[in-house]
Amino acid sequence: MTAATGRTVPFFAPDLFDTEREALLAALYEVGTDPEQKFILGRRTARFEEALRDSLGAGDVVACSSGTSALTLVLAAMDIGPGDEVVVPAFGCAPLASTVLSCGATPVFADVDPVTLTMDPDHAEQLLTARTRALMPAHMFSVMADMPRLRDLASRAGVRLVEDAALAQGGTLRGRPAGLWGDAGVYSFVQVKVFGMPGEGGVVLSADAGLADRVRMLRNHGQDGRHRFLHHRIGHNSRFDEVMAAFQLHRLAGLEERVARRNAICSYYSEHLADLREDGVAAPPAGGDGRFPYVYTLLCEDRDGLRDHLAAEGIDTHVYYPRALPEQPAFAPHARPGGQWPRARDAARRNISLPLYPHLTDERVEHVVTAVRAFAHGRKP
C-alpha cells in the first residue's frame, strides 16, 4: 500500500457500476427491444440460474426478487407456519425475524459467538423444543457461521437447516461454498453485496429438488411455469428481472477478481489493525477458512468516538445493527420471556464497519488504517 490521502472515503461508493455503464445500457436495450417482450423470468434468468449452479456446484438455483424474499420462499416451501418455531440469531438483519413471523411461525433468538458474531450452536441447542422446525443461522459481516456444528445439530434434532448466506457469496468453509451447507441457502444481490447489482434480487440454492421446485412455483404466484393462470399454491410475486439477469451474467466473469481485491483489502486491514485489541479496537483475523469479503467490521469499546474521529478524517463508516433483534420494538413481543442475549447486545453496542469495495484504492485503504490506529493510540492512558 502507498502513502495516505486526505480525500473523502465514502462507505457506500456512488460509482460502484461506473465502469460497466455501457454493459448495463446494452442489457436494458437488448431486453427492451427483444421481440419476445418478456421482462421477468425469461431465458436470461434461466441462463443466470444455470451459470450460478455450474459455478457453485449447486443442486439447483432459483432466482427471486430479493434475499428477504428468498428466505420467505424457503420457509413457505418447507410449510413452516403457525405453531412452529425457527431458531435465529439474536444479532443480525431484520429479515431473520420478520420472515419467520410473516409465515405465522415464532422466531426463537439464540445468542451469538463473541468473536464470529454468528449463531452460537450451544445456545441454539438449548432452545430446541418439540415445536422447532428449523435452524436459520446467518453469516455475519465477513465470517461464516459454524456450519459443520449447525449441520450436525439440525440432523440430530431432525429439523431443517436454512442458511442465510445473503452476504457471503465468495466464502467457503471446508471446501464447501457458503449457501450449500443447509437444506436451502440464499444469496442477496442488492448493490453493496459481494455480487451486488443496481437493483434488488436474490437466489435460493438447494440440493433438494422437490424443495427447489416448490420455491420456483411460489415465486410466481404458485404457478408451475408451464400453465399460466393455473395456481397450485398460494404464492408470492418474487420474480427476477431480465435486465438484471443479463447484467449479472455479464458481471459474473469478473466476480473472482472483485472478490480477490476485496480479500486483499480485508487482509491489509487485519494485518495492520491486529495489535489494537488492548487499545479497545478488535479486528477480525486475516483470511482463513470460512471468511468472505462483504463488510469489514471492527468491535470498538468507544464506537461513537471512533466514528466521529474517522468522520473528521473524511472517512465514512456504518453501524449495521445497533440493537439486538429481540430488543427491536417489532420483535420484542415475540421473544421468549426472560431471554438473555448478552453477546448480541454487546455486538450491537460495539460494531462499526469500514469502507470496503473493489475499487477502493491503496491510498484510501492506507488512510483508513492510519486514522484507526491514531484513534486507538490516542485513547491510551
Domain that holds residue 230: 18-252
Q: What is the pLDDT of residue 151?
A: 98
Structural domain includes residue 149: yes
For residues 240 and 320, membership in a common domain is answered with no
Structural domain includes residue 154: yes
21 by Cβ neighbours in 10 Å (0-12 / 13-18 / 19+) ranks as exposed
For residues 119 and 236, membership in a common domain is answered with yes
Q: How far apart are CA 56 and CA 147, in angstroms?
A: 17
Structural domain includes residue 11: no
Q: What is the pLDDT of residue 379?
A: 60
C-alpha cell, 195: 455480487
For residues 246 and 274, membership in a common domain is answered with no
Which residues partner with 291 through β-bridges? 143
Q: Please, what's the largest Cα pairwise distance for the chain?
A: 72
For residues 228 and 262, membership in a common domain is answered with no
Between strands 106-110 and 85-89, the pairing is: parallel
CATH code for position 169: 3.40.640.10
For residues 218 and 282, membership in a common domain is answered with no
Q: How far apart are CA 226 and CA 111, in angstroms?
A: 44
Answer with the one of 229, 252, 275 that is the final residue of a domain: 252
For residues 95 and 184, membership in a common domain is answered with yes
CATH code for position 283: 3.90.1150.10
pLDDT tens, per residue, the chain with 381 residues: 433 444 589 999 999 999 999 999 999 999 999 999 999 999 999 999 999 999 999 999 999 999 999 999 999 999 999 999 999 999 999 999 999 999 999 999 999 999 999 999 999 999 999 999 999 999 999 999 999 999 999 999 999 999 999 999 999 999 999 999 999 999 999 999 999 999 999 999 999 999 999 999 999 998 987 778 889 989 999 999 999 999 999 999 999 999 999 999 999 999 999 999 999 999 998 878 999 999 999 999 999 999 999 999 999 999 999 999 999 999 999 999 999 999 999 999 999 999 999 999 999 999 999 999 999 998 643
Instruction: Tally the domains of the chain.
Output: 2
C-alpha cell, 12: 457506500
For residues 202 and 270, membership in a common domain is answered with no
Structural domain includes residue 108: yes
For residues 117 and 244, membership in a common domain is answered with yes
Helix (H) or strand (E) holding 28: helix 21-33
Which DSSP string do the residues of 140-173 spell out, in sequence order? BTTB---HHHHHHHHHHHT-EEEEE-TT-TT-EE
Structural domain includes residue 8: no
Which of 176, 178, 218, 194 has its CA nearest to residue 62? 218
For residues 89 and 215, membership in a common domain is answered with yes
Whose cell is 422447532? That residue is: 132
Q: How far apart are CA 195 and CA 301, in angstroms?
A: 32
For residues 318 and 222, membership in a common domain is answered with no
Structural domain includes residue 185: yes
Q: What is the pLDDT of residue 224?
A: 83
Which residues partner with 353 through β-bridges? 297, 318
Structural domain includes residue 366: yes
Structural domain includes residue 1: no
Q: What is the pLDDT of residue 287?
A: 79
Answer with the one of 199, 217, 252 that is the final residue of a domain: 252
For residues 128 and 50, membership in a common domain is answered with yes
Task: Give the single-character DSSP code of 7.
Answer: S
Answer with the one of 192, 227, 252 that is the final residue of a domain: 252
For residues 209 and 276, membership in a common domain is answered with no
Q: How far apart are CA 366 and CA 71, in angstroms?
A: 38
